[in-house]
């Protein structure tokens, strides 16, 4: 089994276990304020980090290129309440066009 398949299996089991546990665990077990707060903050922290790496990293170096412009376009479209799919497609098209220039 390759590492990639291994990662897929771990992710599958882990993600399902969380969903199943949520339906099974009594509410008071998870009521600790620290747990609630951590789970509230995790998506923002991780997605912030993911965006930064996705947009600026090229291997182990940091660089600014067409991806940043695409992200800017995505932000403007989101502010204008454009739905997810057209927003993502527009960002890709902008990056593709800039690279053609």
Show contacts with another protein in window 30-69 (CB under 8 A). 30, 34, 36-39, 41-57, 59-62, 66-67
Q: Of residues 32, 64, 80, 87, which one binds another protein by CB under 8 A?
A: 87
The rounded distance, in Å, linking the Cα atoms of 94 and 74 is 10
Q: Coil, helix or strand for 61?
A: strand
For 2-15, b/e burial (b = at least 16 CB within 10 A) is: eeeeeeeeeeeeee
Per rule CB under 8 A, is residue 23 in the interface with another protein? yes
Q: Of residues 4, 64, 80, 101, which one binds another protein by CB under 8 A?
A: 4
Per rule CB under 8 A, is residue 76 in the interface with another protein? no
């Amino acid at each position: 089994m390759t590492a990639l398949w291994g990662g897929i299996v771990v992710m599958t089991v882990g993600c399902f276990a969380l969903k199943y546990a949520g339906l099974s665990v009594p509410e008071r077990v998870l009521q600790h304020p620290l747990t609630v707060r951590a789970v509230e903050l995790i998506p923002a922290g991780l997605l912030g980090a993911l965006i930064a790496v996705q947009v600026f990293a090229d291997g182990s170096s940091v660089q600014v290129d067409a991806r940043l412009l695409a992200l800017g376009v995505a932000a403007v479209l989101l502010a204008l309440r454009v739905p997810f799919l057209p927003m993502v497609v527009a960002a890709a098209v902008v990056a593709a066009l800039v690279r053609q220039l």
